[in-house]
Every structure is written in structure tokens, then in C-alpha cells.
Amino acid sequence: MFPDGASAAPEKGFFVTTATQIDLDAVNRQLAGATPEHVVRWAAETFSTGLVMTSSFGAQSAVMLHLVTQVIPDIPVVFVDTGYLFPETYQFAEALTRRLKLNLKVYQSPLSPARMEALMGRLWEEETKEALDRYDQIRKKEPMQRALRELGVTAWLAGLQRHQTEHRSKLRVVELQNGMPKIHPVLEWTSRDVYQYLKRHDLPYHPLYEQGYASIGDVHSTRPIGEGMNERDGRFGGLKQECGLHLPTTPDENDSRGASNL
């Protein structure tokens, strides 16, 4: 992170404000057409030490992790560990943490997987959206909310892309989620853009990507996809495609059907 009194200079014409006075319309006009690197620099200048990024260590996560840490080497990287991830995901996270020297912050539910199953059963086997929502609240959303509080977060970098879901197709580069600025540097990128960045910097896909896993979450709710399927069709048995981390607390969360690998 930039030391006190120093920062990356924003590009000429970039709108700089404070988290409490942010003008979303003005910011998004100024950032229209900006490169992802420039968006990250703007976020670092604007939010300083209150800025974090999240990573699922999914199929293409190396892109955002590399892109952001080239600008902010020691930015806190929040990794929500559900306790049900693939062994390959844990290994991938460890390898990228070493290679990119990540300032990794791992958050987990205080309710262990074994205890949750004993008290509530295997929620994902109920095959209802209500059960999956409860699972996501316990294993993903509560740890993320705790991370935001404990780390004193004032803004959040996330690798969402517009083409991934209907909800994400409506996003702007900077939005408010539950009152917090959330910045999407690669929102306009396509799968080809991601591929080219990975190749250019010799970065790896998740080990399961070559086996047909385009979007990778928990072992019990992730399947390979077939030709012509959406990236997230292999998640949650098709019942939903957003876990809620990237949705505001509104009816949109219940209506989401369609979602990130970064």
C-alpha cells in the first residue's frame, strides 16, 4: 500500500474524491474507457489503506491478483474459505500467494463444516434455493462481512465482468454495495481479454480449468460445463449463480440467476 503522504498519481482528468463524498456519476464518467491499471491507481489514490481486494482463487483469479498487486503490492487479499473447496483450490491459492507475495487474509465461518452438518444437515443436498442461501450466509457472507469490519475496509476491488450475469451486465466500474464503494477494474473484459493477459504474463489458470470447470467453488456444488453452457451453469445445481457476496442486500439477491471466476 502507498505510504502516508504518497500515492500513485491519477491519470490526467481523473476524478479524485473521498469515500464519504463520492459522486458515482462523476466518477464513472471520468473512468469511462480507462484501463484496468488506471482504475486500480485511482482506487489506491482515493481510498488508501482502506482498500482491499477479494479472490476466490477460481479459474482465472491470477489475472486480478497479478494486475492489482503490480500497482499495490501489499493490498490485503481477502480469501473466504468455506471449508469445502477443492484440494486443487487450496494448492492454487498457496502457489499464487508465494509467487505474487500476496498479503493474504483468510476468513472462515466460526461454525466448522462438521458442526454445521451435525446441526443442520448437508444444506446443499436439500436442493432448494432457501437451503443454499442459508449455506451461503453461514460459510461465505458472514465471514466476508466480518473481514470488512475487522480490516477497516472503506472500498473493495472485485474482478466481476459484465458478460457473466444479468446482474453484472448492469454494473458500472464503481458502484455502492450496502453503502461501500466497490470497484470493478476488468468489468469490460471478455474471456479473450483474460486469456491474453494470462498468456502475456505467464500466469496459470486454476488446475481444474482444463477439465471443464469454468467456474470453481465448493466441491459439492461445482460441476464441469458442456459446450454452449454459461460459465456459471456448473454451480449450485442450476438453482442460482450468485452466492450473495457480490449482491446488495435487496430483492436482487433472490432474483439472481445468472455470475465470476476472478
The reply to whether 229 belongs to the active site is no
pLDDT digits (tens, 9 = 90+) for 21-80: 689 999 999 999 999 999 999 999 999 999 999 999 999 999 999 999 999 999 999 999
pLDDT digits (tens, 9 = 90+) for 19-28: 456 899 999 9
Query: In angstroms, rounded to a whole number, what is the distance separating the alpha carbons of residues 213 and 197?
Result: 19
Least confident of 22-36, 103-117, 189-203, 224-238: 224-238
Q: Using pLDDT thresholds of 50, 70 and 90, give the confidence band for residue 1.
A: very low
In this predicted structure, what is the pLDDT of residue 231? Answer: 53
Inform me whether the pLDDT recorded for 232 exceeds 70: no
Residue 196, by phi and psi: left (phi above 0), alpha (psi -120 to 50) or beta? alpha
Inform me whether the pLDDT recorded for 251 exceeds 70: no
DSSP 8-state symbol, 175: E
Please report, rounded to a whole number, the percentage of residues in the chain having pLDDT higher than 90: 63
Please count the other Cβ atoms lying within 10 Å of the Cβ belonging to residue 26: 12
In this predicted structure, what is the pLDDT of residue 2? Answer: 33
Residues with Cβ within 8 Å of residue 1, at least 6 apart in sequence: 44, 48, 49, 51, 72, 74, 75
Residues with Cβ within 8 Å of residue 90, at least 6 apart in sequence: none
What one-character-per-residue DSSP string does 198-260 give? HHHTT-PPPTTGGGT-SS--BGGGB----TT--GGGGBGGGS-S--STTS-SSTHHHH-----
Inform me whether the pLDDT recorded for 136 exceeds 60: yes
Structural domains in the chain?
Answer: 19-255 (3.40.50.620)
- Catalytic residue chosen out of the listed positions 71, 102, 243, 245: 243
| Mean pLDDT across 119-140 | 92
In this predicted structure, what is the pLDDT of residue 163? Answer: 72
DSSP 8-state symbol, 65: H
Inform me whether the pLDDT recorded for 226 exceeds 60: no
In this predicted structure, what is the pLDDT of residue 225? Answer: 58
Question: Which cell is 83 given?
Answer: 471449508
**Quick one: which H or E segment has residue 90?**
helix 87-100
Q: Using pLDDT thresholds of 50, 70 and 90, give the confidence band for residue 129.
A: confident
pLDDT digits (tens, 9 = 90+) for 237-248: 554 444 455 455
Inform me whether the pLDDT recorded for 154 exceeds 90: yes
What one-character-per-residue DSSP string does 10-48 give? PPTT-----GGG--HHHHHHHHTT--HHHHHHHHHHHHG
Question: Which cell is 133 given?
Answer: 442461501
Residues with Cβ within 8 Å of residue 245, at least 6 apart in sequence: 54, 80, 140, 141, 144
- Burial class from Cβ neighbours inside 10 Å (0-12, 13-18, 19+) for residue 43 reads buried
